[in-house]
């Protein structure tokens, strides 16, 4: 289970919005409101042809892996997203969105987007933890990325998920969070794409700051 966001640019001179992909599997309202609190313009993207005035995309997602991939297939977003990423353009995934970045999931049979190497597995049963993993947990930074502040401060974020991504490339892992005696992938980052397993839009000031850092990075790198 998870959520995600996506963005795209055609002409850097006229793009200013962040595109929020609507494929029927995301809580668009709360994500949209989170960006509006940052005073950042957003646009709902219902079809790939809607991206004429956006510079970055967010792929939000709530629910299960197979239905999400099937909906992306129906709306022709799969080749669009792959082309977008191959062109080096920024994409942010949230919750299920992060899981869709990977090659496959134990939650279903559909292939994932394959933007990152690795697979999604069911959370291990822990005597001290319930599944789904629901609630607040502290982030543990693994490597620096535009979403993180590179400080010793402990930042708590809000999770709701039963599956966790296992990146094959260790350098794609940016942050983890504890789950019982083990840990789960919390943030991944590679090139111009990144994703959060947790919900930044529901993670109070920490989530607000994470989204603000992403917006700041987009602006300082002239993506929007």
Residue 108 to residue 214: CA distance in whole angstroms: 31
Which residue in 107, 141, 161, 201 is the catalytic one?
A: 201
Return the residue matching tokens 């840990």: 183
95 part of the active site? yes
Q: Quick one: pLDDT at residue 30? A: 94
Q: For residue 148, which of 217, 223, 89, 58 has the smallest C-alpha distance?
A: 217
Residue 160 to residue 135: CA distance in whole angstroms: 7
Residue 11 pLDDT more than 60? no
- Mean of the per-residue pLDDT values of the chain: 91
pTM: 0.91
Which residue in 29, 141, 199, 208 is the catalytic one?
A: 199
Q: What is the 3-state secondary structure (H, E, C) of 19-63?
A: EEECCCCCCHHHHHHHHHHCCCCEEEECCHHHCCCEEEEEEEECC
If one counts the domains in the chain, the total is 1
Residue 9 pLDDT more than 60? no
First to last CA, the chain: 30
Q: Quick one: pLDDT at residue 16? A: 74
Which residue in 95, 133, 161, 196 is the catalytic one?
A: 95
Q: What percent of the chain has a predicted confidence (pLDDT) above 70?
A: 92
201 part of the active site? yes
Domain that holds residue 45: 5-220
On whether the CB atoms of residues 21 and 42 are closer than 8 A, the answer is no
Q: In this predicted model, what pLDDT tens digit does every residue of 77-104 receive, in sequence order?
A: 999 999 999 999 999 999 999 999 999 9
pLDDT classification of 13: cutoffs 50, 70, 90: very low
Q: Give kind and range of the element (H or E) at residue 121.
A: strand 118-122
Between 133 and 201, name the one with better pLDDT.
201
Q: Quick one: pLDDT at residue 47? A: 94
Q: In this predicted model, what pLDDT tens digit does every residue of 157-186 receive, in sequence order?
A: 999 999 999 999 999 999 999 988 889 999
CATH of the domain at 172: 3.40.50.880
Q: Quick one: pLDDT at residue 125? A: 75
196 part of the active site? no
3-class DSSP state for residue 76?
coil
Between 154 and 139, name the one with better pLDDT.
139
Q: Quick one: pLDDT at residue 127? A: 61
Look up residue 212 and give its DSSP letter: H
Mean predicted confidence (pLDDT) in 5-19: 53
Residue 41 pLDDT more than 60? yes
């Amino acid at each position: 289970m998870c959520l995600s966001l996506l963005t795209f640019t055609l002409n850097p001179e006229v793009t200013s919005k962040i595109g929020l992909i609507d494929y029927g599997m995301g809580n668009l309202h709360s994500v949209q409101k989170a960006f509006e609190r940052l005073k950042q313009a957003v646009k709902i993207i219902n079809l790939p042809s809607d991206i004429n005035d956006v510079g970055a995309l967010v792929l939000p997602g709530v629910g299960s892996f197979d239905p999400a991939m099937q909906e992306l297939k129906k709306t022709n977003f799969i080749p669009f997203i792959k082309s977008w990423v191959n062109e080096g353009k920024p994409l942010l995934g949230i919750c299920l969105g992060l899981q869709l970045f990977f090659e496959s999931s134990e939650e279903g049979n559909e292939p994932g987007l394959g933007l990152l190497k690795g697979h999604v597995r069911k959370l291990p049963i822990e005597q001290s933890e319930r599944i789904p993993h629901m609630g607040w947990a502290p982030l543990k930074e693994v490597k620096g990325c535009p979403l993180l502040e590179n400080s010793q401060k402990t930042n708590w974020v809000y999770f709701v998920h039963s599956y966790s991504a296992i990146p094959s490339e260790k350098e794609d892992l940016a942050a983890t969070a504890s789950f019982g005696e083990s840990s789960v992938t919390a943030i991944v980052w590679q090139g111009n794409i990144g994703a959060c397993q947790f919900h930044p839009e529901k993670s109070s000031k920490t989530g607000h700051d994470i989204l603000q850092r992403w917006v700041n990075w987009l602006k300082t790198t002239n993506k929007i």
